[in-house]
Chain A
Amino acid sequence: MDQIQYYDANQIEGRSMTIILDNGKLETISKNSSKGAGIRALCCGSWGYTSIDGETDLETGIKNASELAASMNKNTPKERVILGDVPKRKVGSMPAIKINPEDISIEEKVELLREIEKYAKEESIKSTRVSYSESILMTRFMNSEGEEREYKTIKSGFSVSAVAAEGNNYQAGRESRFNIAGYEIFEKNDPYQLAKDAAETAKLLLKAKTPKGGALPVILDPELAGVFTHEAVGHASEADLVLQNDSVLSGKLGKQIASPKITVIDDPTLHEYGYYPFDAEGVPSEKTVLIKDGVLNSYMHSRETAGVFEGVSGNARAQGYSMPVVRMSNTYIDKGDATFEEMLEDIKDGIYLIGSRGGQVNTGEGVFQFNAEKGYLIQKGEITDLVRDVSLSGQTLDILNQIKMVGKDVKLHAGHCGKSGQTVPVTDGAPHISISKATVGGA
């Protein structure tokens, strides 16, 4: 057997619970406990990976992964992978958990959800849904270089959605908050107000118009600008995508790719939903400036891609015990100096897009499409009619260069990011930004 130059293992043990209250009915109480391990071995240029559910025998796992790697290497030999060095960093502090959610009874949680739902049950709201989830996860990492680390995270979160209806017109509003936090998440966020907000959005959208599409000046709110940052800029800055020719930012390091007003940061040390003390390769986390004053400053790396680019690793993440992949953490556009009023005044006629219903990006061609939750027309520098079913599409690099003003009001929003079939917790955010021209889709 050829020599195995490296192996590592992530052992995970966790418990989770979900409660769903739907239209006043306690629909689901679901609990899960799981244990397992993902083990990788590297033989020259080939990776072997095994994952096992349940009780695991690490020694057998390492042996199996090594055999896979070795036979791969024999079948399809390729250039040796040189892993980047582990940067010498301290492991940062963990977010403090005030109230362990497992110390609160299910009855009390259900009671709170019922209370929250009441605030969404307004007139013309047809249906409501409130969900709560919590999880406790132990992660143990070890590798063939003698590194051993472990940490425990507690996550909590909730979401409220409301559907308003009038004849055949159905509109939904949704609010959610997730964090690495205990039950105090309900103290740090006002769930009753968020329930009201969700209902209010749904009701307002009933009356909204659908705008005429076209190329327009646009203002994005922090949530939608955050989605753009994550989807269009963040993914294209993942070094694995760059290496496989799947990024519009390939070959652009050190070049001006955006308006000089733009600085984009990925920071896993922030005590937000995308936080981790060290990544799935045992590398202590650190902030990365992706774009500095419009210049592409760095990609995000795993040890393998760091080895290729002479970059710094710390962004390899995995869902549970899946195979680590280059991922974002807390990604945002840094604050600028404009106020919202200045943006309105400057744009004069255009559209203000708020919130996100998701989006999709082709990182290779740098093309994206996002749907806003709602929007307002801007006429003569003033906000006028409410519009719905509006989408924004365009070329990533075009938009980055067309950003005219950057606000001071950075806000982060927690969500889940999917890549390579794995989902990890992230936040994304930005201040309000204005764009001189973008394609807005409507009816």
Chain B
Amino acid sequence: MTKINADKIFPENKISIEEIKSGIEKALALSEKLGASDAEIVFSIGESTSIQFKKDIIETAKQSTSAGYGVRAVVNGAVGFAGTNLMSDLENTLRTAVASAKVMEADPLFKNFPEKAVYKEVGGLFDDKIVDMSLDECIECATDMISGVKSIENMIPTSGGFSRSVSYFMIMNTDGLSAQRKGTAVSGFTDVTTASGEVSTAYDYNVSRKKDVDFTVIGKNAADLAKKSLKGISCGAEKMPVIFHPFSFADILENTLVPSVDADNIQKERSGLVGRLGDEIAHSDLSIIDNGTLEGGISSGAFDDEGTPTQKTTVIGNGILKSYLYDSYTAGKDNVKSTGNGYRYSYSSAPGVDFSNFIIDFPQSDVIAETKKGIYVNTVIGAHTANEISGDFSIEGRNAFLIENGEISKPIKSVMISGNIFEMLKNIDGAGKDVRSVGGIITPSIRISEMSVIGE
């Protein structure tokens, strides 16, 4: 792996990575004297610039830096965690983590932190052009979104923003692991509404690790969708085919299937998929792969937040449940290898199981054209209210449309969709050619043969 010159990435912050590294080494050496069998320290620093607009006015420029340490210390298998953002406080933080671990009961199921490994570099995660972006360039991206919205008649943004970020992450542990990685990202988001007359709203966004996003398109797409959603009709209560746009399908998956394949939930029996490995749980043409090595992937990296090399994990292969997702602790408990899915919200939280890039694969076709009657749902509200164990949900479809004779026809004002994710997986019978990455879930539009739909 190439050596990262973090001093150069963050010139403003006067942080010397060599000094940070030697500080961490010193602390790790101290951990044994304090009574810890194992210790792990991560350091991360991130810098971001964001531009926010309200209506069509650029209002705020934000510049933020966040940096800190997260420490895990192990005593008799029990893991204590402590975090700080005071650079001078690393040793104290380590002492706190050790003291907490000493209070906890011994845990024979703890094996060890990930060992030193050879990493394969993942491409497309860092773009110097993002590092070098000037404030004026950032403002221009936001302006582009606004003009995209306004290119559609009678449409105006409600709010939105552009953001660029540069991050650096370092992890070292007492098993000799020492790794570092860096990343960049740009993102744009906008909510739109009608400038006058009947109210109709929509949103769109995009994220990329490279400076390759067309921000005008984000604004234009959102405005176009809001415009098409005007003059919605009511639909009755019936069962019919539903096609979910990548936005809505990803939203449902993230709140139902994703927690169900988390090994931690499996081990605690808080998942509808306990003991189902090897069972056919989905349509035989459906495969779902978690791929932390995806080039340019939003959640990609050579290693996860514990230092385990990332990999491709087949979660569902041709309809069969093949694997759960593991971090190092849950893997040790099941005597398997970590799938490289140990992630943290930030340096100040201990890692837990999470997906990386979740790729939904189903044979693609002109799925709308092949649908005689049904509804198309762009976004949903309330997906997080799903029962993540049973997989049951009842959500409100937004920017929904009737499909008649293979074409999107009239917009639907309001529609409630009820279902169960595990039944849905079996009833998938089509996918579009419109693959999108939605917060790490990469999916085409997906058709479900029959769902319960209630209009207003």
Contact = CB atoms under 8 A, between A and B. Distances in A.
B61 A49 contact: yes
Contacts of B385: 357-360, 369-371, 391
A78 to B, nearest CB: 6
Nearest to A72: B61
A389 B392 contact: yes
A237 interface: no
* Interface size classification for chain B: 35 or more
Interface string A41-82: 000011111111111000000001100110110011010000
B289 to A, nearest CB: 26
Given A29-B81, A391-B416, A441-B454, A51 B64 contact: yes
B139 A369 contact: no
Interface string A246-279: 1010000000000000000000000000000000
B175 interface: no
Contacts of A171: 387, 389-390
Which of under 10, 10 to 19, 20 to 34, or 35 or more describes the interface residues of A?
35 or more
Nearest to B396: A369
Contacts of B132: none
A32 interface: yes
Most chain B C-beta atoms within 10 Å of own C-beta, residue among A26, A30, A358, A365: A30
Contacts of B93: 33
A170 B96 contact: no
A336 interface: no
Contacts of B191: 246, 364
B159 to A, nearest CB: 5
Contacts of B65: 51-53
A20 B87 CA distance: 27
A168 B392 CA distance: 12
A323 B82 CA distance: 26
A243 B159 CA distance: 10
B429 to A, nearest CB: 21
Interface string A390-415: 11010100000000000000000000
Given A34-B85, A359-B385, A26 B105 contact: yes
A3 interface: no
Given A35-B86, A367-B414, A244 B382 contact: no
A169 B389 CA distance: 9
B100 A31 contact: yes
B423 to A, nearest CB: 11
Interface string B159-185: 100000000000000000000000000
Contacts of B86: 33-35, 54-55
B427 interface: no
A103 interface: no
Contacts of A357: 385, 387
Contacts of A33: 83-86, 89, 93
B133 interface: no
A369 B135 CA distance: 39
B34 interface: no
Contacts of B387: 170-172, 357, 389
A25 to B, nearest CB: 8
Given A33-B84, A127-B268, A360 B381 contact: yes
Given A49-B60, A126-B269, A360-B381, A443 B418 contact: yes
4 closest cross-chain pairs (CB), A and B: A371-B385, A170-B389, A29-B100, A369-B396
Interface of B: 54-55, 57-68, 78, 80-89, 93, 96-97, 100-101, 103-105, 107, 135-136, 139, 143, 156-159, 191, 193, 195, 199-201, 237, 268-270, 272, 348-350, 381-382, 384-385, 387, 389-390, 392-396, 398, 414, 416, 418, 452, 454, 456
Given A54-B67, A54-B87, A246-B191, 17 more contacts: A31-B97, A32-B82, A32-B84, A34-B86, A53-B68, A69-B61, A75-B139, A163-B270, A170-B270, A170-B389, A244-B55, A245-B158, A245-B195, A364-B191, A364-B199, A367-B398, A441-B416
